[in-house]
Chains A and B, each alone.
Chain A
Amino acid sequence: MVPYEYYVVLSGLLMVLGLVGVIVRKNIIAMLLSTELMLNAVNIAFVAFDMKLADVSGQVFVFFILTIAAAEAAVGLGLIMAIYRLRKDVDVNTLTELKL
């Protein structure tokens, strides 16, 4: 069996990649994609600790995270559609209406 620490390290690596993606990319859709990466990293960590602790509560929480990810994708992409209709642009650097 692979020790569970390796899974947790992999989860950390995916989390950092998602974080870098959210910071670095300028397209809103790509930022949402990086968020999905971070959610997946959390899922891996949950299931890995389940394996270690001989429990299944973490898998129940992964189920809830899947639900929330579906809701987040639906609402976020709806917002992106609305932003695109208003401004014909999805670059985050030009979204400065709230700036003083």
Chain B
Amino acid sequence: MELNNVAFWTFSSLAVLSAIGVVFFRNIIYAVLSLISTLIMVSGLFFNMGAELIGALQIIIYAVAIVVFYVLVISTVPEDKGQTVDVNYMLVSLPVGFLIFIELAYVALYGAWKSNTGMFTPEVVKEMGNVKAVASMLFTKYLFPFEVASVILLVAMIGAIIIGRKDHVLDEEA
């Protein structure tokens, strides 16, 4: 068996197992730890596919920065005492989810995907490197969306500060 294959099966099975943990762990801290595990496994899959830049960004942004948000909020919001999952919803959603998965898997395996290829063939990527290839696309064709993304981040930061401020709740009570 090729090393590539071994890596794929290891990473994907661990990712699915930890994703099941995210959905079904009762304690929310365990769910967040499973999410970290899933994100790192997905990052390994990106490296396996040859997308080094995205794999590294996945660890830096997702597995560190976003998870820190979650841990901070969980440390201030105490665990609720109610049921973890709604049993009625689970009885409905598990078969329906299974059907959707079968459908997606069928389309993925037998779908007639269009096969017009881009210019970044493996030889080109091997010569210029994945990071340079992604950056050349990001800063030429997708320059305007890149700038818009920075504005979105700024707006989200200001909005989060204003929403999370303490005194506007106190103002309404006064």
Q: Is A68 an interface residue (CB 8 A)?
A: yes
Q: Is the Cβ of A5 less than 8 Å from the Cβ of B109?
A: yes
Instruction: State the Cβ distance, A80 to closest chain B Cβ, in Å.
Output: 6
Q: Please, how many angstroms separate the alpha-carbon atoms of A32 and B31 in the complex?
A: 11
Q: Please, how many angstroms separate the alpha-carbon atoms of A4 and B134 in the complex?
A: 20
Q: Is the Cβ of B108 less than 8 Å from the Cβ of A8?
A: yes
Q: Name which of B15, B72, B73 has the most chain A CB atoms within 10 A of its CB.
A: B73
Q: Is the Cβ of B160 less than 8 Å from the Cβ of A33?
A: no
Instruction: State the Cβ distance, A100 to closest chain B Cβ, in Å.
Output: 22
Q: Please, how many angstroms separate the alpha-carbon atoms of A11 and B48 in the complex?
A: 15
Given the known interface contacts A1-B4, A12-B108, A56-B134, the answer about A24 and B117 at a Cβ–Cβ threshold of 8 Å is no
Q: Is the Cβ of B22 less than 8 Å from the Cβ of A34?
A: yes
Q: Please, how many angstroms separate the alpha-carbon atoms of A34 and B50 in the complex?
A: 26
Neighbour of B76 across the interface among A47, A54, A64, A84, CB < 8 A: A84
Q: Is the Cβ of B89 less than 8 Å from the Cβ of A33?
A: no
Q: Is the interface of B mostly helix, strand, loop or mixed?
A: helix
Q: Is the Cβ of B97 less than 8 Å from the Cβ of A69?
A: no
Q: Is A95 an interface residue (CB 8 A)?
A: no
Q: Is the Cβ of B118 less than 8 Å from the Cβ of A53?
A: yes
Q: Is the Cβ of A77 less than 8 Å from the Cβ of B117?
A: no
Proximity bits, B70-108, A CB within 8 Å = 1, else 0: 101110110010111110011011100110110011001
Number of chain A interface residues as a range: 35 or more
Q: Please, how many angstroms separate the alpha-carbon atoms of A57 and B18 in the complex?
A: 29
Q: Is the Cβ of A9 less than 8 Å from the Cβ of B108?
A: yes
Q: Is the Cβ of A78 less than 8 Å from the Cβ of B163?
A: yes
Q: Please, how many angstroms separate the alpha-carbon atoms of A72 and B45 in the complex?
A: 24
Chain A stretch 36-68: residues in CB contact (< 8 A) with chain B? 36-37, 40, 43-44, 47-57, 59-60, 62-64, 66-68
Neighbour of A6 across the interface among B8, B19, B31, B161, CB < 8 A: B8
Q: Is the Cβ of B117 less than 8 Å from the Cβ of A2?
A: no
Q: Is the Cβ of A51 less than 8 Å from the Cβ of B49?
A: yes
Q: Is the Cβ of A55 less than 8 Å from the Cβ of B117?
A: yes
Given the known interface contacts A8-B108, A23-B93, A85-B169, the answer about A33 and B35 at a Cβ–Cβ threshold of 8 Å is yes
Q: Is the Cβ of B4 less than 8 Å from the Cβ of A60?
A: no
Q: Please, how many angstroms separate the alpha-carbon atoms of A2 and B45 in the complex?
A: 11
Neighbour of A29 across the interface among B54, B73, B83, B86, CB < 8 A: B73
Chain A residue at minimal CB-CB distance from B45: A44
Closest 6 CB pairs of A and B: A55-B118, A12-B104, A71-B156, A8-B108, A21-B23, A78-B163
Having A64-B146, A77-B72, one finds 7 other A-B pairs with CB under 8 Å, namely: A27-B84, A49-B113, A67-B152, A71-B156, A75-B163, A77-B73, A93-B82
